[in-house]
Structure 1
């Protein structure tokens, strides 16, 4: 990552990319240890539980993978190397679960190897991060089908 890492998380949706059906384009990473035995999860800020680093792909970002790496930095304090495109995962929530704060989304996940964990990062004050083996991570992501699918598609040792 050649450019300087910002210690400020991006907020707001002014710069947000949307798909052809008005869905929010979200990019994320499945951050793996170098030996692929563990995955790094972060605490959700919206409800109790653990999630994968992800967030909106913004207009000034050339690629979804660049957005995914920025989100990994802001939310988890990690520098990562994208290894593989895990493809698109649809938002399977029923329409009744879609709200103004959580609009319909299209998820694009990437498998990434964590190359560095920093001690200070933009969202350190509101999130913790924790390494998990596949079985435990899968259990923790169970209530989020799109995150579980991304984990399943990755080459983490199952």
Structure 2
């Protein structure tokens, strides 16, 4: 990614959708070089910990490009994508879907964090923290799609 923007993208105008109308979401499982820790970020509400993820946009050639952008915007990290963890369907029942949180399809990538910047687009509303597998699994327990991505990664158990 040549030169990181200090502006986080907003809105859904550029959002990609799948064949069933689901929002395509890309994210990373950001691991330490030795694969003993995963970096989680605070959710936008600040009430929980999540993996960096967001909408894959039309001007991004690949879901991996979108995932790296989200890692930068939300976590202030520069990542190297290591492997595709494949699609994870949205586990929420139809009753839990809303206009602001429509059905999604998640594409996660395992990535190695190569740099942590001290300033990033969403620094004012998110913190980041390294966790072990056991800690992260507990923190992500309420988000089955994020927990599944974590389990598919090669983070040391």
Shorter-normalised TM-score: what interval? over 0.9
Structure 1: distance between partners of 2:35 and 2:125: 27
Q: CA deviation at 1:4?
A: 1.2
Q: CA deviation at 1:80?
A: 0.3
Structure 1: distance between partners of 2:136 and 2:41: 11
Q: CA deviation at 1:47?
A: 5.6
Q: Which residue of 1 aligns with 2:111?
A: 112
Q: CA deviation at 1:7?
A: 0.2
CA contact under 8 A between 2:23 and 2:104: conserved in structure 1? Answer: yes
Structure 2: distance between partners of 1:128 and 1:19: 31
Q: Give the total of aligned pairs.
A: 157
Structure 2: distance between partners of 1:55 and 1:155: 22
User: So what's the TM-score if we normalise by structure 1?
Assistant: 0.98
Structure 2: distance between partners of 1:33 and 1:156: 9
Measured at CA, do residues 124 and 55 of structure 1 come closer, stay the same or move farther in structure 2, by a change above 3 Å? same
Q: CA deviation at 1:85?
A: 0.3
CA deviations on 1:17-49 (whole Å, 9 max, x unpaired) are 000110000000000000000000000013611
User: So what's the TM-score if we normalise by structure 2?
Assistant: 0.99
Q: Are positions 1:14 and 2:20 aligned together?
A: no
Gaps of 5+ in 2: none
SS in 1 for 2:99: coil
Greater than 4 Å deviation, 4+ residue runs: none
After TM superposition, list the pairs within 5 Å mapping 1:52-63 onto structure 2: 52-63=51-62
Q: Which residue of 2 aligns with 1:156?
A: 155
CA contact under 8 A between 2:29 and 2:51: conserved in structure 1? Answer: yes
CA contact under 8 A between 2:46 and 2:125: conserved in structure 1? Answer: no
SS in 2 for 1:71: helix
Gaps of 5+ in 1: none
CA contact under 8 A between 2:29 and 2:150: conserved in structure 1? Answer: yes
Structure 2: distance between partners of 1:66 and 1:25: 13
